[in-house]
Amino acid sequence: MEIIIQPTVEAASTIAAQMVARLLREKPDAVLGLATGSTPLLLYHELVQMKLDWSRVTAFNLDEYVGLAPDHPASYHRFMWENLFNRVNILESNVHIPDGLTEDIPGFCLRYEQQILAAGGIDLQLLGIGTDGHIGFNEPTSSLASRTRIKTLTQQTRAHNARFFGGETAVPHHVITMGTGTIMEARQVLLMAFGPDKARALAEAVEGPITSMNPASILQLHPVAKIVLDEPAASRLRKADYYRWVYDNKPDWQKL
């Protein structure tokens, strides 16, 4: 894992945007795995400002709430179109987001996995992290080999996401999410975490044991996982000084 600690959310988002931009320049037909939530908002804003060419890019989103129509204000469809897809030149036919209204969830999930494979696999998967260590919506005790499927949210996650629904009671109980096994097949993974609420889950994921109690900890087994943090999210890392030293002393050929 490469741990990159930055003073602010802005600085961290700029580094993440540079990583995505580099991929799109080197591989114009890249396949991106995309995330929602507050964490990637500034990253998406920066990517829009960069005016990159998205005409050959394919995107697969991590997850969606079951039962939400694409135009629901809290749906991840709406989030992605408002914050990124409507603002770049991506083709609608290249956008894939789990369908929260599908009447055949297992069939849909199987097809989603097949579509990822048919696209050549995901080049770069963006991730946030839940306060309980979830990635996508793979809650604690999710199989670390899981594929795209239905999941039931924990109360902690429903409470954390209540702000998007105007209250906890309106938050759906079920979601469709890529599995941790699906995420681990991406060629590169870029996880971002900001703010003190993420510090504990992040430290356990990076420096604790690999365990389904913290699904993000599976990323310790990923060959190319980059973790971009602001200082508050990094505040519980025991080896933070070492990560800073490594980043500040990278060989020139390894720098962005």
Using CB under 6 A, list all residues that contact ligand GLP: 35-39, 62-63, 128-130, 136-137, 157, 161
Q: How far apart are CA 173 and CA 67, in angstroms?
A: 9
- Out of 46, 77, 123, 134, which one is annotated catalytic? 134
Residue 187 structure tokens: 């060629």
Residues 6+ positions from 194 with CB-CB distance below 8 Å = 9, 12, 38, 39, 229, 230, 232, 233
Nearer to ligand GLP, 53 or 130 (CB): 130
134 is catalytic: yes
Residue 228 structure tokens: 């971009």
Least gap, CB of 136 to ligand GLP (angstroms) = 6
Least gap, CB of 205 to ligand GLP (angstroms) = 12
Three-state DSSP class for residue 156: helix
Nearer to ligand GLP, 30 or 80 (CB): 80
222 is catalytic: no
Least gap, CB of 33 to ligand GLP (angstroms) = 11
Least gap, CB of 62 to ligand GLP (angstroms) = 5
Half-sphere exposure of 156 (CA within 13 A, CB side): 13
Nearer to ligand GLP, 29 or 82 (CB): 82
Least gap, CB of 251 to ligand GLP (angstroms) = 31
- Out of 46, 99, 123, 132, which one is annotated catalytic? 132
Hey, what amino acid is at 202?
L
Is 137 within 8 Å of 153 (Cβ atoms)?
A: yes
Q: How far apart are CA 78 and CA 73, in angstroms?
A: 6
132 is catalytic: yes
Residue with tokens 């964490």: 39
Nearer to ligand GLP, 25 or 163 (CB): 163
- Out of 46, 139, 230, 231, which one is annotated catalytic? 139
What DSSP line would sit under 186-227, residue for residue?
Answer: SSEEEEEE-SGGGHHHHHHHHHS--BTTBGGGGGGG-TTEEE
63 is catalytic: yes
Maximal C-alpha separation, the chain: 53
Nearer to ligand GLP, 167 or 251 (CB): 167
Nearest residue to the partner ligand GLP, using Cβ: 128
Residue 43 structure tokens: 């990253």
- Out of 46, 63, 113, 204, which one is annotated catalytic? 63
Catalytic residue annotation: 63, 132, 134, 139
